[in-house]
Amino acid sequence: MTFSLDVKVPTANRQKGLTSARFDENLLLIATKHYFPLAIDLNFGYSIVGSPPDEHLKNRFLGGLALRYGLSERWRLVGDIFGQSRESKGEKNEANFQIGFRFRPGLPVFFDAAVGRSLLPSGTRIQGTLGMTWSNSLKF
């Protein structure tokens, strides 16, 4: 299990529209369980948004479920479903899924790629991610 707390400190210029001039706090809980060759990650989060008086932003809930399945020593099939509550009154909630692959060569690095789409008609129709992670203590 992992818990994180992130605090956004308003340091940019409010007059230029670069900040809300308010603090934001993000709380995230991640629970991971391995059933070889399957790994499951469950995420729950809450964002406390410091909304300026003229914007009426809402605090947000988020959640997700990710699966990793080992195809071989170097390849994993990955997928996730995730969502967030609406950002402000009149906006829509978000719900998305992605599926892809993760490759780990013999170095302390792995590469991943995934494609997906929104589960709601109001969301982004098609999305994709490409990534690289480098770590000296990387566990796959």
Cα separation, 40 vs 69, in Å, equals: 9
Residue for token pair 């988020």: 62
The Cα-based distances of 127 to 100, 132, 140 in angstroms read 12, 17, 25
State how far the Cα of 50 lies from the Cα of 7, in Å rounded to an integer: 11
Instruction: Give pLDDT tens digits for 29-81.
Output: 999 999 999 999 999 999 888 766 677 778 889 999 999 999 998 999 999 99
- Predicted pLDDT of residue 138: 47
Dihedral angle, C-alpha 84, 79, 67, 73, nearest 10 °: -150
CA-to-CA distance for 67 and 120, rounded, in angstroms? 21
